[in-house]
Copies of this chain bind each other. A is one copy, B any other.
Amino acid sequence: MMEPNYEAQLTREAIDTEKARSWLDDPGCGAIHIFCGVVRDLNRSKTVTAIEYHAHEPLALRSLEKVVAGLVDDGATKALAIHRLGMLKVGETSILLGVSLPHRKEGFGLLERGMIEIKSEVAVWKHEHYRDDAPEWIEGS
């Protein structure tokens, strides 16, 4: 039986970049591209202390699967997306998107497109917590 060549996950555990790289590994691939979206300490001029990521889980997972399946359709040998949910501190990875392919050239564009699709289609919302203000839901990216 063939191993599936794409994978989408929602998780409440810390995302391990090395484990993602291992999953993407393939003997025919000379290139592995990984993008990590990370919680940063500043958004819209407010000091962010943490972000809670909340999802419509079945819908989000389905959309995430469509994104990685699309990347494989368009040339990735393997594609992996993992979105973290729950409360994240500054510096933690909220999304990891990765692709492997024989040569690196097309990988940059595939990851960029995948992230645009994730940002517009995956049913996840940030509830941002600030040092000096009440938490806010972010809608639209």
A contact set with B: CB distance below 8 Å: 16-21, 25-42, 90-91, 93, 100, 102, 104, 107-109, 111-112, 115
Contacts and interface: CB of A to CB of B under 8 A. Distances in A.
Copies in the complex: 2
Contact of A17 (B18, B28, B35, B111): B18
5 contacts: A21-B93, A27-B91, A28-B41, A30-B39, A40-B102
A36 B31 contact: yes
A39 B25 CA distance: 10
A87 to B, nearest CB: 17
Contacts of A18: 16-19
B42 A37 contact: no
B38 A17 contact: no
Given A21-B93, A28-B40, A30-B38, 14 more contacts: A16-B18, A21-B36, A25-B91, A27-B40, A29-B40, A31-B36, A31-B38, A33-B33, A33-B34, A33-B111, A38-B100, A40-B102, A104-B112, A108-B109
Given A30-B40, A41-B27, A42-B28, A35 B112 contact: no
